[in-house]
Amino acid sequence: MSQPTTWDHPEPLAVSSAPVPHYGTGSLADLLPTLAAGMDVPGMSAAIPELAPADRNCVFLIDGLGWEQLLAHPDEAPFMSALIGSSRGDTGRPITAGYPATTATSLASVGTGLPPGAHGLPGYTVRNPDTGELMNQLRWQPWTDPRAWQPYPTVFQLAHEAGVHTAQVSSPTFENTPLTKIALSGGTFRGKLSGEDRMDLAAEQLAAGDRSLVYTYYAEVDGKGHRFGVDSDAWRGQLMYVDRLVQRLAEQLPPRAALYVTADHGMIDIPFDEQHRIDFDEDWELRAGVALLGGEGRARHVYAVPGAQSDVLTCWREVLGEQFWVASRDEAIAAGWFGPTVDERVYGRIGDVVAAARDDVLIVASEREPRESVMVGNHGSMTPAEQLVPLLQVRS
């Protein structure tokens, strides 16, 4: 007679084995404070000391262009590849995005200069402790008071108050979104549809002040990666295009300027089979005791029904084995996944169980998340492919 065993589930991974983002020494949250400190904005400190101060600083954020993907495609990105290890300064090293490696979280880290545990956008979807509902951090649904959700000033606002000319040059559709308001506001938002127009305007804005801080953004590398994969023709085409955008901006830098090219996260392609795509909606073991499933396929927040927290943790560990780092909320916080501290208002937004993918696997939810569940390229976790993002530098 067979005994109940977990023979098909390997040992769970120790939470402490997860490669935690480099908060405070080399993460996205450290970039703008370092640049602002170099422009004498009060209260800012240079956490990335090798970035020499400049009077005019521009950050170009390429959505979804991870460090490893850039390294793997030098032919499609000759300009950016030449900046890696270039002799023109301390350029071309990766920094970490932050956990989870997802757009809403990373944009908030960039703009506020704070890790997710402080700015409070610790996932793609997270539970709002006040309503008990899931909230989508990218689309801001359902609507929630932005200032209560993320009360800290942005680095742009602090720089603007200190007399630095600040501007954000992005898609017009983002001008009035809550995410822009809480992460990127301060100074002037300028919307331009074409990438070329954005580069030209960013250069113009950079020259518009003696001291200036300008942010610009391009989305479609991420978009094509999600739909077709990070090695697809469509993705490669986007990489070639964005490489030319970087060059276009670099060639227009005004005097005393520095351009930093970075990204909000990398990406990893996930095969389409049941081994690599575990369907939460079809898996009674993973569903047991779960009230809400948040996050995304490679970075799950699991909210248990009251009293079931430890059962859910045990079950997720057994089912997922070595494929995921599975932590209780307190373990994840203590291990520093969300930064050195987690604000009280943010605590309940984090799952009772937090599951971060280690292998090329996903926890999809075919019924709850039909659109997200069919994406080729994915991101969110702490693997180098997702977590490491470029920090390339061009100085005039």
CB of 264 to Zn ion, least distance (A): 8
Determine phi and psi for 255, rounding to 5 degrees.
-60, 155
Q: Is residue 76 within the footprint of Zn ion (CB under 5 A)?
A: no
**Residue 378: CB minimum distance to Zn ion, A:** 8
Number of residues that bind Zn ion (CB under 5 A): 1
Residues in a beta bridge with 363: 278
User: By C-beta, is 222 or 369 nearer to Zn ion?
Assistant: 222
Q: Which is nearer to Zn ion, 55 or 222 (CB)?
A: 222
Instruction: Look up residue 287 and give its two tokens.
Output: 């569903």
- Work out whether 369 is an interface residue with Zn ion (CB under 5 A): no
**d(Cα 217, Cα 190) in Å, to the nearest integer?**
11
Placement of tokens 């580069």 in the chain: 199
Stretch that binds Zn ion, among 15-23, 129-137, 176-184, 219-227 (CB under 5 A): 219-227
Cα–Cα distance measured from residue 302 to residue 234, given in angstroms and rounded to the nearest whole number: 34
| 281 vs 372 by CB, closer to Zn ion | 372
What residue type is assigned to position 310 of the chain? S
Residue whose CB is less far from Zn ion, 203 or 363: 363
Q: Which stretch binds Zn ion (CB under 5 A): 8-16, 112-120, 217-225, 288-296?
A: 217-225
Does 386 interact with Zn ion (rule: CB under 5 A)? no
Measured distance CA(119)–CA(349) in Å, rounded: 12
Strands 353-357, 377-378: parallel, antiparallel or unpaired by DSSP? unpaired
In whole angstroms, the minimum distance from the beta carbon of 369 to Zn ion comes to 14
Rounded CA-CA distance 123/103 in Å is 9
> Does 269 sit near Zn ion (CB under 5 A)?
no
User: Least distance in Å: CB of 137 to Zn ion?
Assistant: 12
Residue nearest to Zn ion (CB): 222
Q: Which is nearer to Zn ion, 313 or 389 (CB)?
A: 389
Taking the C-alpha atoms of residue 62 and residue 391, their distance in angstroms, rounded to an integer, is 11
Return the H-helix or E-strand segment holding 217.
Answer: strand 212-218
> Shortest gap between Cβ of 180 and Zn ion (angstroms)?
17
Among 55, 68, 222, 369, binds Zn ion (CB under 5 A): 222
* Binding window for Zn ion (CB under 5 A); candidates: 1-9, 129-137, 215-223, 287-295: 215-223
- Interface with Zn ion includes 352 (CB under 5 A)? no
Distances (CA, A) of 212 to 72, 165, 242, 396: 33, 4, 23, 14
Minimum CB separation of residue 110 from Zn ion in Å reads 15
b/e burial code for range 214-232 (CB count within 10 A of at least 16 → b):
bbbbbbbbbebbbebbbeb
Give yes or no for a contact between 202 and 249, defined as CB atoms under 8 angstroms apart. yes
By the criterion CB under 5 A, which residues form the site for Zn ion?
Answer: 222
